Structure 1
Amino acid sequence: MKTETDILVVGAGIVGLATARALQLRKPGARVVVIDKEQDVAQHQTGHNSGVIHAGVYYKPGSYKAKLCFDGRVRLVEYLKDKGIPHRIDGKLVVATDTDEVEKMREIQRRCEANDVPTEWLTREQFREIEPYAEGVAALQVKVTGVVDYKAVAASYADDIRAAGGEIRTGTTLISGRPGLRDVTVETSGGTIVAKQVVTCGGLNADQVARALGANPTTRIVGFRGEYYELTPEKSYLCNALIYPVPDPRFPFLGVHATKGIDGHVHLGPNAVIALAREGYSWTEINPKDMVQLAAFPGIWRLAQKYWKYSIGEVQRSFSKEAFVKATQKMMPEVQLEDVVRAGAGVRAQAMRADGTLVEDFDFLHEHPRVLHVLNAPSPAATASLAIAEVIADKLAEAEQV
């Protein structure tokens, strides 16, 4: 079977769906097709995250993350209200548990000011009025942070695409592609698709998808699994909204935090350990091919050599409930071992360079004018999805003029 389309989007996670939606709405008469190898949309990062609507607290001023998180959050909240999708904007607390963390938290506040994120510095007495069971010496309140079910958001984007005349083909795997002067021929498990332009939003497989279409990315996607625990319903009163630690500035991970989701459940986590498969949500999910490729990548060894002490702590929290609870008790001392049960896990797609450095910003590759690859879109990509989609649509429009 052969299909001709104006735009093909590879990947039906939240970024791919937001992109297809933006392109379809910009060009009502165009034909937009989305393909994904899974049997439904939002099956990986979108469907396995904490559901936080991020404010843009930690990102380098002027970066894509900072700008698009701010713009994306505003657009997303408007969208949620318009569609009637349940969400809450309860704010969050970043808690300094000792005096050593206070200066780090002041630097976070300075970044917030640079990123136009409103914050308020709270004393212990003040923040305990908001979160009575949090403990520390001071806290930074970020009032515009919230929570939502991103699977529901993705499903709504998909509905928008179909309503505007677009098509979503799940269970369709990308095999290869050949960019040409006037179009791109893409081979899939469901037949050939000839598109005038292609956007790939491959998430955990972003680098492999780009190579399948003839690109040459210099980074590799490494999966970091984040595992969660959950407070028992009887202890959910220990967290009213979101309680975060002061993060280690060397890493793009925020540490074990507490999040009261849109369903009222309080999740604790995640940690961050290397996934043994690109889509490996537990230690028992191992993909030998992925492991061989990972072992052959020099970046992973350089990262491990530099941060082996940090990694040991993350692995320890993966295997030990006691260690996980101990990390939680630093900011929520009343949480006890019997108060938590294991919950789900997610895998974060993180682009890494061969020298072991992690790509800190959203990253796009546009080697060929008819093919644009989203190579790195970790958190806050879900929050920023509508804004990322507009950037991609602009890039494709510019390419059309060349």
Structure 2
Amino acid sequence: MMIDLSASSVEKDSAVMAVLNATPQADLVIIGAGIIGAAVARDYLARFPHHHVLMLERADRPAAHQTGRNSGVVHAGVYYPPGSLKSTLCREGLDTTLAYCRDHQLPVEQCGKVIVATDETEAQRLDTLYSNCKANDLQPERWSTRQIRSHEPAIRGTEGVYVRHTGITDYAAITRHMLSACKATGQFTLATGAEVETISEGADSVTLEVKQHARRVRVKSQALVCCAGVRADQLIRTQLGDCDFAILPFKGEYFRLSPRFDAVSSRLIYPVPDPAMPFLGVHLTRMIGGYTTVGPNAVLAAGREAYTCLDTSLAELGRILRVRGLYPLLWRFKRAVVSELITSLSKHAYASRIQRYCPAVTVDDFTPYRSGIRAQAVSRNGELMQDFHFVQTQRVLHVGNAPSPAATSAIPIARTVVDRLL
């Protein structure tokens, strides 16, 4: 059977909830039509092909936020401590994501990446990354200055770690494929523009009050999985009344480089990240489609979906400013906060990050590109939650913290979610 992978196909099919005037019943409701929600639906229907799954998406289309606004990198598990959920699920997700794309003729390229040190301090940090790679069975290679220049003539560095396993893909395309495959079972309904207002868990069911296009519908289900990204803490509070962490939205700003840089490197080029921060730094990314982007930086956004200044909401801004852990977090990372803010305000400062390892790039090579929002959980005392995190009751499971590499890890995350749900 041919599956239509076009965005318009999935989006046209997503209006079906408009006809559900009574109380819809489902075996499983999933909130969030990003790649994790799609993978959960796929995994669940594979195990229970006669059950019905209802997916509720607040946006007007699937993959509208983190899934459709990232750099498309299939991560290999370089940065995560061995034994952590991120390390385990990312390493498994690398293989399953590549296999899924190849099995279904979805866009993918395993081009590899080079992490480039530009001074002695960064070169010492490479030791930890190299050890992580070996622990995760990635067969890394240490490259000297001469080897970096030999393999990547446009790149400068004192030392590097080459990881051949890393790849690139289109996560929105993967999501659309999964949703189309779920729909083809005849047991799946996708409703967009559907905002969940209340969650009530009873002894034998979960009841949701859902607002869609000025209508309110009551939905009943045997179980509920929330894959809500930046709204994860909001839904936990909706159900439980409290949440011991808050999701802060960090905006990552990207630029597309001018066509002369379409083939600037054969591999992805990353700087050595600051181990105190959960962000990987401004990197050169080969994109599906044959062009190159740079980014992202990481600045606190003015709202959950505040991709531009025009998206700013006073209510959302007020919510962020009231987050208990915000101010100790900003104070702890004050140097990084200032540095990231400067890159947001100055293209020249942004370009200087890239020029450390790719001197040919200038601000004149920057062209506009979409930004993204990273949903990052922060504890009440201002600690960044580094690992994936789940909150579960008898019939409800919330994916509480799932920043990068969640897209890479989506298939094993989904398996974990369904296992825990059962």
Bigger mean CA deviation after superposition, 47-56 or 190-199: 190-199
Superposed, which structure 2 residues align to 1:124-139 within 5 Å? 124-139=145-160
For the residue of structure 2 that corresponds to 1:243, the secondary structure is: strand
Cα deviations by residue, 1:315-338 (Å, 9 ceiling, x for unpaired)? 111111111111110010111222
1:272 aligns with 2:293: no
Point out where structure 2 has 5 or more consecutive residues left out of the alignment: 1-21
Which one-letter code corresponds to 1:234 in the other structure?
R
In structure 2, C-alpha distance between the alignment counterparts of 1:317 and 1:192, rounded to whole Å: 46
2:261 is matched with 235
- Residue 303 of structure 2 contacts residue 320 of structure 2 at CA under 8 Å; is this kept in 1? no
- The residue identity in structure 1 corresponding to 2:205 is D
Q: 1:231: Cα distance to partner?
A: 1.0
Segment of structure 1 superposing worse, 230-239 or 329-338: 230-239
1:1-400 equivalences in 2 (<5 Å): 1-164=22-185, 165-190=187-212, 191-214=217-240, 216-366=242-392, 368-397=393-422
Tell me if the contact between 1:177 and 1:213 (Cα under 8 Å) persists in the aligned partners. Answer: yes
Query: Are the aligned partners of 2:115 and 2:269 in contact in 1 as well (CA < 8 Å)?
Result: yes
> Are the equivalent residues in 1 in contact too, given 2:263–2:291 (CA < 8 A)?
no
Contact map agreement 2:74 2:94 (CA 8 A) in 1: yes
Is the contact between residue 217 and residue 365 of structure 1 (CA under 8 Å) also seen in structure 2? no
- Residues 238-260 of structure 1 show CA distances to partners (whole Å, capped at 9, x for unaligned) of 22220000000001100111001
Aligned partners of 2:43 and 2:414 also within 8 Å: yes
Is the CA contact (8 Å cut-off) linking 1:230 and 1:340 kept in structure 2?
yes
Amino acid at match of 1:162: K
2:145 counterpart letter in structure 1: R
Runs of 4 or more, structure 1, over 3 Å off, are none
Question: Partners of 2:211 and 2:310 in 1: how far apart?
Answer: 28
The code of the aligned residue for 1:81 comes to R
Greater alpha carbon shift after TM alignment, 230-239 vs 380-389: 230-239
Following the alignment from structure 2 to structure 1, what is the Cα–Cα distance between the partners of residues 261 and 199?
Answer: 52
TM-score normalised by the chain length of structure 1: 0.96
Kindly state the Cα deviation for residue 235 of structure 1 after the two structures are TM-superposed: 2.6
Q: CA deviation at 1:168?
A: 1.0
Q: In 2, Cα distance between the equivalents of 1:358 and 1:256? A: 20
Paired residues, number:
396
Alignment partners' CA distance in 2, 1:177 and 1:144: 42
Paired residue type of 1:316: I
Supply the AA of the counterpart residue of 1:274.
L
What CA deviation, in whole Å up to 9, does each residue of 1:193-221 have, x standing for no partner? Answer: 11000000010111111222235321100
How big is the shift at 1:291? Answer: 1.4
Percentage of identical aligned residues: 37
Contact 1:178 1:214 in 2 (8 A): no
Q: CA RMSD in A?
A: 1.1
Residue 230 of structure 1 deviates from its aligned partner by 1.6
Alpha-carbon distance in 1 for matches of 2:191, 2:139? 41
Secondary structure of the 2:190 match is strand
Q: 1 CA distance for matches of 2:73 and 2:410?
A: 13
- Where does the alignment leave 5 or more consecutive residues of structure 1 unmatched? 398-402
In 1: Cα distance, 2:240 partner to 2:123 partner: 48
TM-score by length of 2: 0.92
